[in-house]
Structure 1
Amino acid sequence: MELNVSTASQGGHAVVTATGELDLYTAPRLQAALAGLLRDRVDHITVDMSGVEFCDSTGMNVLLSAMKRLKEHGGSLELAGPRPAVKRILQVTGLDSVFTVTEAAPAMDAG
C-alpha cells in the first residue's frame, strides 16, 4: 500500500493530508513533507489522518519528531480525524494525551 501526501498552506498554518498506510517504508514521504514545512517556518501544522488506514511506530515517531521541533519554536502540531485503528494506537501508546487530536482538519485552499 502506498502513502500519498499533499500539503496546503495559508499564512503560518499548513494542513498535510496523508492517505494510505504510514509505516517503515512510507514514513519518509511524510517526514519529507513535514521537514519542508519546518524549513519554511510554518508555525502550526495539522496532519489530516482521516485517510490513513494503518500507522506503525515509525509513523508515530515521524509525527512526534515534527511536533517536538515545532514546539521548540513555539509552534504546534495536531492530528485531525484519525480512523479507529489509528485512534487505538494513540490510546494504547498514551500518545492521545501527547498529541492534540481534532475531529476534522480546517478547510484550506490548496497551495
Structure 2
Amino acid sequence: MELNVSTSSQGGHAVVTATGELDLYTAPRLQTALAGLLRDQVDRIVVDLSGVEFCDSTGMNVLLAAMKRLKEQGGTLELAAPRPAVKRILQVTGLDTVFSVTDAVPAAMDAG
C-alpha cells in the first residue's frame, strides 16, 4: 500500500495529511514533508492521520523526531483524528501522553 502526503499551510500553521500505510517503506515521504516545514520555520504542524490505516515504529519515530525538532524551534506538533488502529499503537507505546492528540482536524486549519 502506498502513502500519500499532502501539505497545506497558512501563516505559521501547516496541516500535513497522510493517507495509506505509514511504515518502513513509506515513512521517508512523511519525513520529507515534515522536514520541509521545519526548514520553513512553521510553528504549528497538525498531522492529519484520519486516512492512515497502519503505522509501524518507523512511522512513529518520524513523528517523534519531527515533534522534537519543532519543540526545539519553539513550535508544536499535533496528531489529529487517528484511526482506532493508530490510536491503539499510541496508547500501547505510551506515546498518547507524549503527543498532543485530537479527535478532529482543527476547523480553522481545514480550509487550506
TM-score range, shorter chain: over 0.9
1:5-63 superposed Cα distances (whole Å, 9 cap, x missing partner)? 00000100000000000000000000000000000000000000000000000000000
Q: Equivalent residue for 1:4?
A: 4
Tell me the distance in 2 between the aligned counterparts of 1:18 and 1:64: 15
Task: After the TM superposition, list the runs of 4 or more consecutive aligned residues in structure 1 that deviate by more than 2 angstroms.
Answer: 106-110
Q: Equivalent residue for 1:37?
A: 37
CA contact (8 A) 1:9 1:109 kept: no
> Where in structure 2 are the equivalents of 1:45-60 lying within 5 Å?
45-60=45-60
Q: Equivalent residue for 1:66?
A: 66
State the AA in 2 paired with 1:25: Y
> SS at 1:30's partner residue?
helix
Higher relative contact order (CA 8 A, sep 6+): 1
Q: Equivalent residue for 1:90?
A: 90
State the AA in 1 paired with 2:3: L
> SS at 1:70's partner residue?
helix
Percent identity, aligned pairs only? 84
Could you tell me which runs of 5 or more consecutive residues in structure 2 were left unpaired when the two chains were aligned.
none
State the AA in 2 paired with 1:54: F
Q: Equivalent residue for 1:28?
A: 28
Report the alpha carbon displacement of residue 108 of structure 1 after superposing the two structures with TM. Answer: 3.2
CA contact (8 A) 1:15 1:46 kept: yes
State the aligned residue count: 110
Could you tell me which runs of 5 or more consecutive residues in structure 1 were left unpaired when the two chains were aligned.
none
Tell me the distance in 2 between the aligned counterparts of 1:73 and 1:19: 27
CA RMSD of aligned residues (A): 0.7
> SS at 1:91's partner residue?
helix
Scaled by the length of structure 1, the TM-score of the pair is: 0.97
